[in-house]
Amino acid sequence: MSPTAQVVHANPSSHLGDKVGDLNPGSETVPKASRVDPARFLSQASHDRPASAIRALFPAEAIPGMLSLLAGKPNPETFPFESISVNIKPEAESGPTQLTIDGDDLVTALQYGATAGIPKLVQWITQLQVHMHTREVVTPGSKLDGVAGRSPWRVTTGNGSQDLLNKTFDALLNPGDVILVESPVYTGILPSLVMLKARIVPVVSDDQGMMSSRLTEILENWDSNAETAGLPRPKCLYTTPTGANPAGTTASDDRKRQILALARQHDFLILEDDPYYYLHFGGLDEDAVTRKRGKSYWGLEEEHRERWGTGRVVRFESFSKILAAGLRLGFATGPTEILDAVDANTAMSNLQPSGVPGVMAFKLLNHWGIPGFLRHVDSVARYYAKRRDNFEAKARQVLGESGVAQWVTPVAGMFLWLKLNLPSSGPEEPEGDSFALISDKAKAAGVLAVPGVAFIPDGSKTCYVRTSFSIIEEKDVEEAFCRLRDVVLAAWKEAGKPMRPLA
């Protein structure tokens, strides 16, 4: 089960449903200034954290003619590695390709280095973000800084996006600060929020993830609703907009526009956790390099930026799902002020991301170029789309036809979020609870899944269960669902009543 969190239920008065066009992103009241000041969202811990006396001077070592007596770096002549060679799988008709890390690149991989990660990798990712999200690079003090609502942004890397998420929460949230989260929510963020003593306000999801209509109700009734009246206004919002873990939902561009409009109107940040962005199953029959992909919150900031400015979105991505999870490489893109605070945490806690995976990733990405990278991620997406199709077909055959479960077809990611048809323990609970059934009975029957309670911010009962189609052998899917079905049917038999039809 998820750790106990300080969760506030805003109890919106009605279920309005979300429809495209409910909110007009261009119709909000124009603010007095178009410049967003991300620094004012920083936590007290970020202000109090002293800068690293040594790492703050690292960039000066690159000044021509500089003689450095600065850091206690080990001398590269003592490193026992001559080179590192990596063989990558064949591409099209060609054979395997060997990439070699040696010379200065090897020294960079093995030595203490930049807090944000391997500079060449950071630069490559920066160009990828420019290409994918159509945002010009803006640096502090440059000619674009502040022009037409632009604000400085950059990229930093970490030991997976989870590392960067936790450090960003620390950079933003004081005890008692409010964060809005979609419900269900990725369970990995909850321990960090609990430890920071943040107040969590969940926002109900539908088949596109967080509902902008519910979010509107919560925000408009903030000061009159007994649950939120005594709380500070939200500082940030967390969402997984593509192939969400666990719900598998994907937000449309219009849904994102609606939520971004609310962030601008009510003055909070959006933390866009998007590790499945490149695992979207739409458009895979088109050319990988030229086809249009869904817009990110970070990219959508360019719309109406002259009126609202930019600097309100921090975007998190990962190479775990598209290159290799064991590389432990994630990256964040967002306002310079916030990522500076994240890097200050890294400098204190683990100095820098691991160099060898960073240089390996750069060598591979540089070998591919952006076109090759896009062809690769589309190949990975096609692989998971095929698995999704098989997984859902078997679910429909075994669980759907028997009336045991229902779900929303995922258009991205790795998950099928099943709503199980379970007997309830009483009239006050219209739906049954999946926790004991999945944790105990399903496990005893030889099938594992994650009880839905792990993804509910306040840990309340739910009939949902998360299943993943990413790694199970396709030949075993039907048997896994048969075991799950039989456990559910046995629960109804044990309850001594006939199974009710699905709504």
Q: Tell which wins on pLDDT, 72 or 218.
A: 218
Closest CA to 400 of 418, 379, 414: 418
How far is 457 from 253, CA to CA, in rounded Å? 26
Q: Which residue has the tokens 């309340």?
A: 460
**Mean pLDDT within 129-137:** 96
How far is 249 from 251, CA to CA, in rounded Å? 7
Per-residue b or e along 448-480, where b marks 16 or more CB atoms closer than 10 Å to that residue's CB: ebbbbbbbbbebebbbbbbbbbeebeeeebbeb
pLDDT band for position 13 (cuts 50, 70, 90): very low
Instruction: Please report the DSSP string for 96-128 in residue order.
Output: -EEEEE-HHHHHHHHS---TT--HHHHHHHHHH
Contacts of 244 (CB under 8 A, 6+ apart): 182, 186, 205, 209, 250, 276, 413, 415
For residue range 165-178, list pLDDT tens digits in order: 999 999 999 999 99
Mean pLDDT of the chain: 91
Whether domain 387-494 has CATH 3.90.1150.10: yes
Closest CA to 400 of 474, 488, 470: 488
pLDDT band for position 51 (cuts 50, 70, 90): confident
Domains of the chain: which residue ranges? 76-374, 387-494
**Mean pLDDT within 223-250:** 96
> What is the structure's pLDDT at 91?
76
φ/ψ region of 65 (left if φ > 0, alpha if ψ in -120 to 50, else beta) reads left
For residue range 349-395, list pLDDT tens digits in order: 999 999 999 999 999 999 999 999 999 999 999 999 999 999 999 99
CATH class of the domain whose range is 76-374: alpha beta
pLDDT band for position 12 (cuts 50, 70, 90): low
Work out the number of other CB atoms within 10 angstroms of the CB of residue 371: 13
Token pair recorded at residue 340: 């500076």
Domains 76-374 and 387-494 in one fold: no
pLDDT > 60? residue 116? yes
Query: In this structure, what are the phi and psi dihedrals at residue 7, rounded to the nearest 5 degrees?
Result: -105, 135
> What is the structure's pLDDT at 32?
42
Q: Tell which wins on pLDDT, 378 or 4.
A: 378
For residue range 415-462, list pLDDT tens digits in order: 999 999 999 877 667 788 999 999 999 999 999 999 999 999 988 899
The pTM for the full model equals 0.93
pLDDT > 50? residue 275? yes
pLDDT band for position 31 (cuts 50, 70, 90): very low
